[in-house]
Amino acid sequence: MNIKTGTMPARLITCVLLLLFLASCTATGMTRGTPSERRQAIQDMRQEVLTQLYSVKPDTRAQIASASGYAVFSNANINLILASFGGGIGVVRANGSDTYMRMGEVGIGIGAGVKDFRAIFVFHNNDALERFLDVGISVGGQADAAAKAGDLGGSVSGEAILDNVTVYQLTQSGLALQATIKGTRYWQDANLN
């Protein structure tokens, strides 16, 4: 196969390689090491994200405390012209126990850029929680403009409520201008549970 610089296949390959690199950088420590070390890295990420969320939006502390459960994910996303790809790792907390999970997403739409963010899901009833753990598929639209770099502090870039689940998104770093329709798949990590 002959791939010329600047052709669509070359751009797609570059996009996929960049996504894999970005996802590995985002999840460093969470995807390497022994299962025990990986679980600890995910726990540390969860605590850091919750601390950041509570400082930016203090009322979420009571909301999470009264929920049936919640999940925290670290996610890297890349948009290139008409395609969007992403991946991440996280943990669901319910009834005093943790379920470690992975995620992947694919989308179509207009966009360009790379975005590193954290997502927090608050499940307001057991049906919503069980549906997420069993099915783990989300289809939705997203339109945003995010510009962030380095340790300039966190910001809540989105809040959505759907089907008894509230989702918060904290931008970490990256630059993205996008309008996409995405399908996201969440599944339990067999190596960590």
Residue 14, H or E segment: helix 8-26
Residue 47, SS3 per DSSP? helix
Query: Quick check: 14 pLDDT over 50?
Result: yes
- SS3 at position 56: helix
Main-chain dihedrals φ then ψ at residue 39, nearest 5 degrees: -60, -40
* 44-60 confidence digits (pLDDT tens): 999 999 999 999 899 99
Which amino acid type is present at position 176?
A
The whole-number pLDDT of residue 1 equals 43
Q: Note the maximum CA span of the chain.
A: 57
Q: For the chain, which residues make up each domain, given as ranges? A: 8-188
**pTM of this prediction?**
0.72
